[in-house]
Amino acid sequence: MSSVVALGQWVLPESPYALWARGELDEQLGLPEVLRVEVIGGEFAVTPYPPVNHALMLRDIHEWLFRAESRDGGFPWRVVQHVGVDLAEIGDGYSPDLIVVTAEVDLLARAEDRYLSPNEISLVAEVTAYPSAHNDRRPVSGNPTKWSGYARTGVPYYLLVDRDPRQSGVTLFGEPNRGEGTYEVLGEWKFGETVRPPEPFDVEIATDAWKPWSV
């Protein structure tokens, strides 16, 4: 698998975040639509869209949540994909793999909006891809990541599916410390185990078919 990750530090007419928020950053950079652009720690990051295995894992998460919703007419969660998150508070903008909101969030009223706000999100899920996985994990050497950005803006739960063969597995983070930009670990599972998040999520996600990436 060949991939390229770019972090931008050159001159733009406005901050990367301001351009991202208006949907103009990719145009300013002259990027094709097959690349995903995010602003992480105030700098833009460009990554290719991930491979099929990545999408299949997201499908599994989405399907298990949908099954839980089908069993229970009062199921309080709704799942959306391909929607950005505007973290205006810290000047970042992410394109998460999957977002879970409560049924109280009126998604139909937001149908034409490009982004959701952190205070509308109950859980965000990211599936790592080579070679940009470091952007999804805890920061190293103090460099901000999406993990710390979600925590700093108060997203209650962060589900990380790490496909790195050196540390593959699933971790649920919660109890965000907004001041420190950190989470507590609420649960950890290896690939092949059934993911059973604690309350308030009454779901089970089978990971038997999940595999680490190969490069």
* pLDDT for position 9: 55
Tokens 């805890």 locate to: 138
Contact 36, 26 (CB under 8 A): no
* pLDDT for position 29: 78
In the chain, where the domains are located: 52-206
Q: What is the pLDDT along the chain (215 residues), one digit of tens a residue?
A: 334 455 555 578 888 899 888 888 878 877 665 568 899 999 888 887 788 899 999 999 998 888 777 776 677 888 898 899 999 999 999 999 999 999 888 888 888 888 999 999 999 999 999 889 999 999 988 899 999 999 999 999 999 999 999 999 999 999 999 999 999 999 999 999 999 998 888 788 999 999 999 86
* pLDDT for position 110: 83
* pLDDT for position 13: 84
Q: Whole-model pTM?
A: 0.85
* pLDDT for position 106: 87
* pLDDT for position 6: 52
Instruction: Indicate the pairing of strand 84-87 with strand 115-116.
Output: parallel
For residue 126, what are the contacts with CB-CB under 8 A and spacing of at least 6?
96, 97, 136, 146, 158, 159, 160, 161
Chain segment 95-113, per-residue pLDDT in tens: 999 999 998 888 888 888 8
| Interatomic CA distance for residues 86 and 102, integer angstroms | 18
* pLDDT for position 90: 97
By CB atoms closer than 10 A (0-12, 13-18, 19+), residue 52 is exposed
CATH class of 52-206: alpha beta
